[in-house]
Amino acid sequence: MIHCKEKLSQEKLLGTFISGCKTEEFLGLEYERLPINKYTKDAVSYYGEFGICEVLKQFAKEDNWDYLLDDNEIIGLKKLHNTITLEPGAQVELSIEPQKSVRELKNRVDEIDKTLLPIFDKYDIELCNKGVYPKTTYKNIKLIPKTRYKYMANYLWGILSDVMMRETAGIQVGIDFKDEEDAIRKFNLANKLSPFITAMFANSKIRGNVDTGYKSFRALAWLNTDNERCGFATKLKKDMGFSDYLKTLLEIPMIYIVRGGKYININGKINFKQFIQSGWEGFDAEFKDFELHANLFFPEIRLRNFIEIRNHDCVSEEYMYSLLAIYKGIFYNSDCLTETEEFLSQFTINDISEFRYNVPRFALQTKVKNKSVKDITKEILNLSKFSLESLNDSDVDYMQPIIEINSKGLTPCDL
């Protein structure tokens, strides 16, 4: 048992983040959509003759993708550096190889969808660009046969954790960093930006065929999933480093480990720091356990060997590309990065934390320190737009759809 301390030194664990330091900056995209029957609008199950599994088989056959398996069950597809995977309620996630521009990401999505969407159509399925299933609720959505999801469902204790797992769809953006200082600046700023961007792209108003009274029911679900592993990942100090994020991660309760293909349930009885020190029922901590544990941590901004920004409802493609362009303008121009930091410095982390709890209901109609969020998001958009224009970056064109509706105080769900 004592040997695990040598195997999993802090230096080795910190290497997870240090390995992400890059000289070039790319944009990553994970795009989740909700499969619904195009006539009834009910959620489509993974199972059955006309289920999502059958669609994946057909697509893999037509476009030469490889299966991703869990205990011989198809849970996704892979081709080169792109994947199509399934979330717990059969939500379809397209993960695109990082690219230098929004235009290149769009071309990759279009190329895959050109073959994928007609196959879904043959099965009378459309992929819905909303943050939550508009009609079917979790009680009528079976988990797909992925062992990880069974353990997550049994562990997550929030009152809306089942909603989060089975009903919601989001868009995740990957941002690169050059070194530790750059990573922490971007990580802190992404956290401060997160509720403003959530408000701007709110798109999950209708659930169970009724108006929920929330602009982003998906954001509400995440606020009520598991306070220990969701929300803000650290105290967001200016002088923090990779070690602060690691410290937080080590103190998160563990859900399970895997040995020889078998799942060993821990169910929150120890955290990862205790696992390193003392093991669990005869098992020593291994690096693969740390990688798994890090992926079972769900803050709105997650630090990996890139920065994963996770706080957006799924929206239609025109707004998705606006989202990517916003982040590119802010994070990949050092002047804009500084200007955005200075602009948001008027808000403390307590202001942001409090504001975050009002965003799901009111979105752009929320106020923070008696200031209209609509006016704040307008300034964020201006900063990013000016940044891209100053670089003569044609990706600025993708910002126009969100600029237009934001100027009217609207979000995608209002349309």
**Residue 319 domain flag:** yes
**Residue 257 domain flag:** no
Task: Please give the Cα distance from 138 to 93 (Å, whole number).
Answer: 18
Instruction: Determine the pLDDT at residue 6.
Output: 60
Task: Please give the Cα distance from 280 to 284 (Å, whole number).
Answer: 7
**Residue 231 domain flag:** yes
DSSP 50: T
Range 129-137 average pLDDT:
98
At a CB cut-off of 8 Å and minimum separation 6, what does 28 contact? 96, 98, 172, 173, 174, 175, 306, 308
Percent of the chain with pLDDT over 70: 98
CB 112 within 8 A of CB 82: yes
Q: Which domain holds residue 151?
A: 3-252+297-414
Instruction: Determine the pLDDT at residue 286.
Output: 97
Task: Please give the Cα distance from 408 to 171 (Å, whole number).
Answer: 23
Residue 344: pLDDT over 50: yes
CB 144 within 8 A of CB 44: no
pLDDT digits over 89-116, tens only?
999 999 999 999 999 999 999 999 999 9
Count the domains in the chain: 1
Task: Please give the Cα distance from 356 to 350 (Å, whole number).
Answer: 10
Instruction: Determine the pLDDT at residue 29.
Output: 98
Both structure tokens of 135:
């009609």
**Residue 279 domain flag:** no
**Residue 258 domain flag:** no
**Residue 230 domain flag:** yes
- CATH code for position 325: 3.30.590.20
Task: Please give the Cα distance from 331 to 22 (Å, whole number).
Answer: 14
Burial of 286: CB neighbours in 10 Å, binned 0-12, 13-18, 19+: middle
pLDDT digits over 353-385, tens only?
899 999 999 999 999 999 999 999 999 999 999
Of 232 and 93, which is predicted with more confidence?
Answer: 93
Determine what percent of the chain falls in helix, strand and coil, rounding each to the nearest 5. Answer: 45, 20, 30
* Range from 23-27, 228-232, 297-301, 401-405 carrying the lowest mean pLDDT: 228-232
**Residue 278 domain flag:** no
**Residue 204 domain flag:** yes
- H/E stretch holding 210: strand 210-211
